[in-house]
């Protein structure tokens, strides 16, 4: 029998101290929301926990989980709450377990090119710390100035640079984590190779806080690229841009290859001035190249622009200095903000095999049109991963929810028909769970459920997530 609010807070205070346990209305309100429906205000998903616990040490995390197991109280791990699939929402109440105070970079080991850091470290802080030593941690979610490593690991987050460097998963060598029982486990380590037993590290990455609470990670590093080059290619037709992505990725090894379709260009154009050539385009590709010498990159950019021109692209805009590079990237990075400025929106995060990218945009537009919604598409073209923003406009809550769900359902059916998946980086979480069977067949789904039961037999860790 689960404890009521005050008893629960009292029990937890005895374990981790008064300062680590919050049960006031403001804290419960704050930890009851995330970024799932951006700009959603009072209609956005809201599930307040009974109590918020903010441990500072791994032994405190373990004590909380031992207690929750004994009392059968749901525990929802939480990073910065920037998630877009409702993963951090305590849908069954109980304990919101915020990892933000586990914020130490334990060591930067330049000899082995690894960093050990706790779950609550902000991603951009980790990047700055290693870059100060000439080292590079590539995963770059657009939320990196606020999201935390634990959230990145739980979601296998990615960003533009995953085109060349892979997602968070590719950079994890080992984890420290706490099981639902309160036991602390250590997977992997600093070794580049490790086949000693099952690869639990990679099982926990992307498990969305349903298998264990990640408290720290050993992450691989590489050298900072000596030179970078950013360019934008305007296209008169979406299909031409999508086809060019195939050639660019096959022949030019871009670090990033991002796409904005016309509606996204238009939205950004309302926030910042854009050259007429870009405004008039049906699609833009933003490319970043990494290498040893700037001159070599300029040569590569010329070849790339020529190949793109053969595919229909207009004149390339190449950034000639760091300020110009930032300006070009702002066109891509400000799309989310630009859409939020237009309307509340729900972001679908579909991924398809790269060659089906144009079909994905067309399917998204068709699904939105059928239900009278505007769709704005942009994202990680090099990974075949698009963010499809469905806009609420001035619809009331009932009409918005009905149309959004219908359009999203049809979109995900189309994604499955293109051999894609319902999510590439934002996770299944709470909002996408009913669609999981479109991406995972029944025997595989049954196996996933038995893995969950093996880790968390009482089902206290982040219940209500991933599974339909
Ligand atoms: C403006 C904006 C831009 C974004 N851009 C990107 C992007 O480019 N790429 C991308 O991939 N995502 C992006 N996101 C989504 C989001 O930022 C990522 O999913 C991020 O990794 C979530 O981290 P967080 O710390 O906020 O986690 P939260 O939102 O707090 O939690 C996310 C999930 O992780 C679990 N979790 C959190 N910490 C732990 C832990 N220590 N142990 C176990 N489970 C844990 C939670 O239970 C939940 O299921 C964006 C979001 C916003 C608002």
Q: Got the DSSP string for 49-110? A: -SEEE--SSHHHHHHHHHHHHHHT--EEEESSS--SSSTT--TT-SEEEE-TT---EEEEET
Query: What is the rounded distance in angstroms from the CA atom of residue 64 to the CA atom of residue 49?
Result: 15
Helices (H), 120-254: 123-131, 149-155, 162-165, 200-204, 238-252
Strand partners for 122: 148
pLDDT tens, the chain, 468 aa long: 567 777 999 999 999 999 999 999 999 999 999 998 776 667 788 999 999 999 999 999 999 999 999 999 999 999 999 999 999 999 999 999 999 999 999 999 999 999 999 999 999 999 999 999 999 999 999 999 999 999 999 999 999 999 999 999 999 999 999 999 999 999 999 999 999 999 999 999 999 999 999 999 999 999 999 999 999 999 999 989 988 999 999 999 999 999 999 999 999 999 999 999 999 999 999 999 999 999 999 999 999 999 999 999 999 999 999 999 999 999 999 999 999 999 999 999 999 999 999 999 999 999 999 999 999 999 999 999 999 999 999 999 999 999 999 999 999 999 999 999 999 999 999 999 999 999 999 999 999 999 999 999 999 999 999 999
The DSSP bridge pattern shows strands 95-98 and 51-53 to be parallel
User: In the prediction, which pLDDT does 43 show?
Assistant: 75
Q: Using alpha carbons, select from 209, 199, 206, 133 the residue that is nearest to residue 177.
A: 209
How many angstroms is it from 223 CA to the middle of ligand 1? 26
What are 31's two structure tokens? 């930890």
pLDDT of residue 40: 67
From residue 278, alpha-carbon distances to 99, 128, 151, 375, 405 in Å are 42, 32, 35, 20, 33
Residues 366, 375: contact at Cβ < 8 Å?
no
Give the pLDDT of residue 39.
67
Site residues for ligand 1, CB cut-off 6 Å: 34-35, 76-84, 87-88, 99, 119, 141-143, 147-148, 150-152, 154-155, 157-159, 208-209, 213-214, 336, 425-426, 429, 462
Residue whose CA is at the smallest distance from ligand 1 atom 34 = 151
Give the ligand 1 atom nearest the CA of 83. Answer: 29
* Alpha helices by DSSP H, 334-396: 335-342, 357-370
Residues 6+ apart with CB under 8 A from 229: 288, 289, 291, 294, 297, 298, 300, 301, 318, 319
- How confident is the model at residue 38, as a pLDDT? 72
How far away, in angstroms, is 445 Cα from ligand 1 center?
23
CB 336 within 8 A of CB 38: yes
According to the model, what pLDDT value does residue 261 have? 95
For position 44, what pLDDT does the model report? Answer: 82
What separation in Å is there between the alpha carbon of 256 and the centre of ligand 1?
21
pLDDT at position 4: 76
Going by CA atoms, what residue is nearest to atom 1 of ligand 1?
143
Burial of 309 (C-beta count, 10 Å sphere; 0-12/13-18/19+): middle
């Amino acid at each position: 029998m689960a404890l009521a609010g005050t008893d629960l807070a009292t029990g937890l205070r005895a374990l981790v101290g008064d300062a680590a346990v919050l049960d006031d209305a403001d804290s419960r309100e704050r930890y009851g929301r995330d970024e799932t429906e951006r700009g959603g205000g009072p209609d956005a998903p809201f599930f307040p926990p009974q109590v918020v616990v903010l441990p500072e040490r791994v032994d405190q995390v373990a004590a909380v989980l031992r207690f929750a197991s004994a009392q059968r109280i749901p525990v929802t791990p939480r990073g910065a709450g920037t998630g877009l699939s409702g993963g951090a929402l305590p849908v069954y109440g109980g304990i919101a377990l915020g990892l933000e105070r586990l914020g130490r970079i334990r060591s930067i080991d330049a000899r082995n090119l690894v960093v050990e850091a706790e779950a609550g470290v902000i991603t951009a802080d980790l990047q700055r710390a290693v870059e100060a030593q000439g080292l590079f941690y590539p995963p770059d979610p657009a939320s990196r100035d606020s999201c935390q490593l634990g959230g990145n690991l739980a979601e296998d987050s990615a960003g533009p640079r995953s085109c060349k460097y892979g997602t968070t998963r590719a950079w994890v060598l080992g984890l420290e984590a706490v099981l639902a029982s309160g036991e602390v486990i250590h997977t992997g380590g600093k070794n580049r190779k490790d086949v000693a037993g099952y690869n639990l590290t990679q099982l926990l990455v992307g498990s969305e806080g349903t298998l264990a609470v990640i408290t720290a990670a050993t992450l691989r590093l590489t050298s900072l690229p000596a030179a970078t080059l950013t360019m934008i290619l305007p296209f008169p037709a979406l299909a031409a841009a999508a086809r060019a992505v195939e050639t660019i990725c096959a022949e030019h090894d871009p670090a990033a290859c991002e796409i904005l379709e016309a509606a996204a260009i238009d939205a950004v154009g309302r926030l910042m001035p854009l050259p007429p050539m870009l405004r008039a385009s049906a699609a833009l590709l933003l490319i970043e190249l990494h290498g040893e010498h700037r001159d070599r990159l300029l040569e590569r950019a010329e070849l790339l622009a020529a190949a793109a021109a053969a595919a229909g692209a207009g004149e390339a805009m190449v950034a000639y200095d760091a300020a110009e590079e930032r300006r070009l990237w702002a066109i891509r990075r400000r799309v989310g903000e630009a859409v939020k400025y237009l309307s509340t929106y729900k972001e679908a995060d579909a991924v398809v095999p790269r060659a089906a990218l144009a079909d994905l945009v067309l399917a998204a537009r068709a699904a939105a049109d059928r239900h009278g919604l505007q769709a704005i598409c942009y994202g990680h073209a090099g990974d075949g991963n698009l963010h499809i923003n469905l806009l609420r406009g001035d619809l009331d809550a009932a009409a918005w929810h009905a149309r959004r769900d219908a359009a999203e359902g049809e979109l995900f059916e189309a994604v499955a028909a293109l051999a894609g998946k319902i999510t590439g980086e934002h996770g299944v979480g709470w909002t996408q769970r009913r669609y999981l069977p479109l991406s995972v067949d029944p025997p595989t789904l049954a196996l996933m459920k038995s893995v969950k039961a093996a880790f968390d037999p009482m089902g206290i860790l982040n219940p209500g997530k991933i599974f339909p």
